[in-house]
Amino acid sequence: MGAVGATGAADTRGAAGAARTTGARGATGTRQPPADGAVASRGTLLVIAKAPVPGRVKTRLCPAYSPEEAARLAEAALRDTLDIVLATPVRRRVLVLDGVPGDWLPDGFEVVPQCAGGLDARLAHAFGLCEGPTLLVGMDTPQITAEHLRAGLVLGDGEASFGPAADGGFWALGMAEPDPTRLLGVPMSVPQTGAVQRQRLVRAGLTVRELPVLRDVDTAADARLVAAGAPGTRFAAAVAALAGAGAR
């Protein structure tokens, strides 16, 4: 979410494990989320997404994939993401959508339209819809697990969670108390997006809990790597089907 130009290796589907904490409290260490998930179950999960319409989503997958094939992969990734969100016990699930819902949307979600403006404004608007512990994810990481989401929602007072992406952006952002101003003005779709966003949280006095690095699906190479690390997902099946049909 928010950056381009993947670099380096990244975890794909492993459990979240312990989250590292850094920031205002002046310590770096590890914390284990509560075993019963009680804190996470009181939270809100936000998904920001585009409706999977050919020519409007995953355009960087082309020309390796046609616009129709890219939209098919986008829909598979979105379905995987929504399934995991639905399987995670939380108080509220919100889909912040650019476009019109389709048959890919399961029951159990509130759907609200994205606001106008840049990505920073749209992410800020999404957080402005929420109160209490809130975790935002996108539709570019179909490899996420319920463990990732629970770890991102186990937040105490003055804490945030941050999931860096391999391309320099971020795949998850959580806040114990949502504050849209912590996103406004962050430069998006540049290699330093994640670093700037994380520093914004630290400068706000928050203790930042680090989630695993994951790879966003932006390019055809990303799609193959994420699919290989996430067997059993709709996304992996779609990548395999298109490979069998002759997509590069």
Q: Is the pLDDT of residue 206 over 80?
A: yes
The CA-atom distances, in angstroms, between 58 and each of 83, 96, 110 are 20, 17, 24
Enumerate domains of the chain plus CATH numbers.
43-243 (3.90.550.10)
Please check the confidence at residue 59 and state whether its pLDDT lies above 50: yes
Name the residue among 112, 126, 156, 139 with its Cα closest to residue 46.
Answer: 126
Look-up: residue for tokens 């945030």? 160
Is residue 13 predicted with pLDDT exceeding 50? Answer: no
pLDDT greater than 60 at residue 205: yes
Tell me the pLDDT band of 3, cut-offs 50, 70 and 90.
Answer: low
Predicted confidence (pLDDT) per residue in 115-161, tens digit = 999 999 999 999 999 999 999 999 999 999 999 999 999 999 999 99
Q: Which of 25-29, 79-83, 190-194, 234-238 is the least confident region?
A: 25-29
Q: What per-residue string of b and e applies to 138-173 under the rule 16 or more CB within 10 Å gives b?
A: bbbbbbbbbbbbbbbbbbeeebbbbbbbbbbbbbbb
Measure Cα distances from 133 to 24, 35, 76, 123 in Å: 18, 17, 28, 16
Q: Is a pLDDT exceeding 80 seen at residue 222?
A: yes
| Whether the Cβ atoms of residue 49 and residue 139 lie closer than 8 Å to each other | yes
Dihedrals phi, psi of 136, to nearest 5 degrees:
-105, 135
What's the mean pLDDT in 65-94?
98
Burial status of residue 177 (CB atoms within 10 A of its CB: 0-12, 13-18, 19 or more): middle
- What pLDDT score was predicted for residue 93? 98
| pLDDT tops 60 at residue 33 | no
